[in-house]
A and B are shown apart, each in its own frame.
Chain A
Amino acid sequence: MKLNKMLTVGAVVFGFAALHAQADTELEFWTMNLAPKFNDYFNKAVTDFNKANPGLTAKWVDMNWDQIEPKLIASIAAGSPPALVNFNVPWVHAHAQAGDILPIDQYLGAAKGSYSVGALKDVTVNGKVYAFPWYNSVSIIAYNKDLLAKAGVKAAPASFDQFVADGKQITAKTGVPAYAPKLGNFVGWFYYAGLPVIEGNKAVFNSPKHVAFVQKFADLYKAGVMPKDVFKVEFEQEIAAYNSGKIAMMTTAPQALKRTETDAKAVYAKTGVAAFPTDAGKMAFGAWLMDFVVPKGTKDPAAAAKLGLFLTGDAQQVAFSKATETTFPSTKKGNLDPYFQSGAKSADPVEQGRAVAAKSMDKAVTLTIPPGVLPDEAAMTKKLQDEIQDAIEGRKPVKAALDEAVAAWNEKLAK
């Protein structure tokens, strides 16, 4: 009896162990700020993946963007990182340098050729690809037709200088600030204007050209073309200001239009859409590539890569873009899908915006400093932003502000 009991217990334990061994490999992937809006897309994608890959179980976890890095770091330190994590481009570079994420070249294979060149360039660090490029977007201009007509501005600006001139005209004639572009990453504006930031390990953003460029913003601020708190304006605040008629133009990603459509129907009805003009940098403004990285220490990197290739393949990228209606694939074939160009002649701003932005996608490069260049990125970025803000808000001459920032940068770069 006793032996029987022991055998039974043994069999049960063994059975559980065997079951456990046979259990699917769970592939947890983290995304930022996509639930609950896109639950349907992800639930379907997960089901499709699991069906096509017996033995693997994808599990979707969504979180707020600012939790991603701390949680990932904590999970790497704890030895239990997820399979894939949704990153932006600066994070890819920072964490590739720090050795927290794995290069994925060996898993890409033929799929490498399917991603757009700009997107691959964005996620390549020291010659190795560190992320699966996913969705992307660029800024467009959405404008209030009534206010532009009142100001006598007939068409959306075709160049940056025209953009500046139109802004002044709109504010002068209507009394409404023309626009509130996001100034939180001014380095991006320098790149957009084709101006260098660092050359030969030295900060060079105090040349006469740089000064003249920043001066344009200072003049706009002084003339009230940008609202007083423009430096506090981020994605949400810009939409709110446009929706309430407090600015005449939104210079933002096309997904903002969806919010205007639902939150401010009257403004949406008189909204026109145009491409954001390019400047000397010949880069579309506001590109911000999203991607998936494989953290170091993940249990099965090959399986994780399988999920990464699945989620960023043509079919899934087009399906995801259709779900968001306002983002774009980072694959060459994906962007050729008729879905994106069908809205070019539509009267609906969201559809127009989609066509306008898709056309700009080939110029989409994420405009940030090549990461790893700055020895103390947090402090240096803050110094530059503080000086730029003082200059634009008129507390300091532009030249003096840029000189001071350059001096501070060079002191740190020389160390």
Chain B
Amino acid sequence: MRFRTDLCNIKIKLQSSYAVKNTRSYAAIAYLFLAPALILMGVFTFWPVGFNTYLAFQDYSIADGTATWNNFAHFKYIFHEELFWNALKNSLLYLLIVPVIQLGALVLAKLVNNKLPGMTFFRATFYIPVITSISIAGVVWIYVYKYDGMLTWLLTSLGLLHEQIDWLGEPKIALYMMMIFTFWKGIGYYMVLYLAGLQAIPSEVEEAAVLDGANAWQRFWKITVPMVKPTILLCTLLSTIAAIKVMQEPIVLTKGGKGDTYTALFYVYDQAFRNFNFGRAAAAGLVITFFCVLLAIIQFRFFGEKK
């Protein structure tokens, strides 16, 4: 009897040591697989972010590479800088495009998810703006928005407008005009992501709802939206970050923020590459990052899976 217990104990010990060894090598292999991506991210993401954070608290001279602690001088400067707050306001205002583009993309995805002949053509068409280079799209849209350009012409010929408007020159509307451009340029991207989400919904669910007498409106809000919630979270997060980081649009459309289209990241760029004040640029970048993270947390609360 005793012999059997001993044998059992030995067996258990052996098994557990084997399991420990196994877990260790398992983890090692996992890290090995992660290594290429981690190294690349370390060099090109974590290190720059870390160095940038360090610079935000320093007076940095690019010529001799020296950095000296400056007692939060950059943050104090930015805090009193009207231009930065105005730029940040524009970037936050840009968030208005997020719900519009998300809803638009979801509805569009729902439409092109229909199994009708020629649907691939529509999917491709909506995706074309995404793969068009922003500088080329910008040149075209400048002509759309020119005071004697396409938009003015269209609205005048429809009798809706009676005078020429410089759409990108009027401070009150220029930012919204830029948002329309972003909408046009980005909707196809999110459409594809939603399309993938929609195709993961089992058709039985929708069929059952049809049998229960739910109409299209009810099916959209009660079935589609809840079931693509993870995709909504992803897309909203992506487009929120993109909106706060908006910079290419003012570069191509308003040549650097004329007509009150100066954005937060443009301020960072100006401080870094026009003033060569990399410390101040880093500090401004950090403030923007703070807002990005804040919004991300809110969105995770709102759309994230409840545990």
> Are the CB atoms of A228 and B275 closer together than 8 Å?
no
A234-B147 in contact given A73-B276, A379-B270, A382-B83 (Cβ < 8 Å): no
Q: Is the CB of A231 within 8 A of B81?
A: no
A residues near B61, Cβ cutoff 8 Å = 98-99
Contact B262 A382 (CB under 8 A): yes
Question: For the complex, is B168 an interface residue (Cβ under 8 Å from A)?
Answer: yes
Report Cα–Cα, A378/B275, bound state, in Å.
6
B169 at the interface (CB under 8 A from A): yes
* Contact, CB under 8 Å: B254 / A232: yes
Residue B31 lies at the interface, judged by CB distance under 8 Å to chain A: no
Q: A73-B276, A229-B146, A232-B169 are in contact. Are A379 and B83 (CB under 8 A)?
A: yes
Does residue A48 face the partner (Cβ distance < 8 Å to B)?
A: no
Task: Map CB proximity to A onto B130-174 as digits: 1 under 8 Å, 0 otherwise.
Answer: 000000000000000011000000000000000010101101000
Can you list, as one digit per residue, whether each of A60-97 has a CB less than 8 Å from chain B (1) or not (0)? 00000000011001001100000000000000001000
Interface size class of B (residues with CB under 8 A): 20 to 34
Q: Would you call B212 an interface residue if the criterion is a C-beta within 8 Å of the partner chain's C-beta atoms?
A: no
Report B88 CB to chain A, min CB distance, Å: 14
Cβ contacts under 8 Å, A377 to chain B: 274-275
Stretch from B42-50, B62-70, B102-110, B213-221 at the A interface: B62-70
Question: Is the Cβ of B62 less than 8 Å from the Cβ of A73?
Answer: yes
Residues of A close to B277: CB separation below 8 A: 376
The residues in A between 363 and 415 inclusive whose CB is less than 8 angstroms from any CB of B are: 376-379, 382-383, 385-386, 389-390, 393, 395, 408
* B62 in contact with A232 (CB, 8 Å): no
User: Hey, which chain B residues are within 8 Å of A379, CB to CB?
Assistant: 81, 83, 270, 275
Within 8 Å by CB of B63, from A76, A229, A382, A393, lies A76
Q: Mark B263-307, 1 if CB is under 8 A from A, else 0.
A: 000000011011111000000000000000000000000000000
Instruction: Report whether over half of chain B's contact residues are helix, strand or loop; otherwise say mixed.
Output: loop
Q: How far is the CB of A242 from chain B (nearest CB, A)?
A: 15
Would B64 and A378 count as touching, CB distance under 8 A?
no
Within 8 A of A (CB), among B242-261: 254-255, 257-259
The closest CB in chain A to the CB of B269 belongs to: A378
- Binary flags per residue of A136-168, CB closer than 8 Å to B gives 1, else 0: 000000000000000000000000000000000
Interface string of B56-82 (1 = CB under 8 A from A): 000001111100000000000000011
Q: How many interface residues does chain A have, given as a range?
A: 20 to 34
Task: Report A-chain residues with C-beta under 8 Å of the C-beta of B255.
Answer: 232, 234
Bound Cα distance from A123 to B62, whole angstroms:
22
A246 closest partner in B (C-beta): B148
CB-defined contacts of B65 to chain A, threshold 8 Å: 77
Q: Quick one: given A77-B62, A393-B169, are A378 and B271 in contact (CB under 8 Å)?
A: yes
Bound together, the chains give a CA A76 to CA B65 distance in angstroms of 10
**Residues of A199-249 contacting chain B, CB below 8 A:** 227-229, 231-232, 234
* Residue on A nearest B172 in the bound complex, by CB: A395
Q: Which residue of A69, A77, A227, A383 is within 8 Å of B273 (Cβ)?
A: A69
Is the C-beta of A354 less than 8 angstroms from some C-beta in chain B? no
In the docked arrangement, what's the CA distance between A94 and B273, Å? Answer: 11
Q: Which residues of B contact A (CB under 8 A)?
A: 61-65, 81-83, 146-147, 164, 166, 168-169, 171, 254-255, 257-259, 262, 270-271, 273-277
6 contacts between A and B (CB under 8 A): A73-B276, A99-B61, A100-B62, A229-B166, A378-B274, A379-B81
Known contacts A94-B276, A378-B274; can you find 20 more A-B pairs with CB under 8 A? A73-B273, A73-B276, A76-B63, A99-B64, A227-B147, A228-B169, A229-B166, A229-B168, A231-B169, A232-B255, A376-B275, A377-B274, A378-B271, A379-B81, A379-B83, A379-B270, A379-B275, A382-B257, A386-B258, A395-B171
Name A's B-contacting residues (CB within 8 A). 69-70, 73, 76-77, 94, 98-100, 227-229, 231-232, 234, 296, 376-379, 382-383, 385-386, 389-390, 393, 395, 408
List the 8 shortest-distance A-B pairs measured between CB atoms, nearest first.
Answer: A378-B270, A378-B274, A99-B63, A228-B147, A228-B166, A379-B83, A229-B166, A378-B275
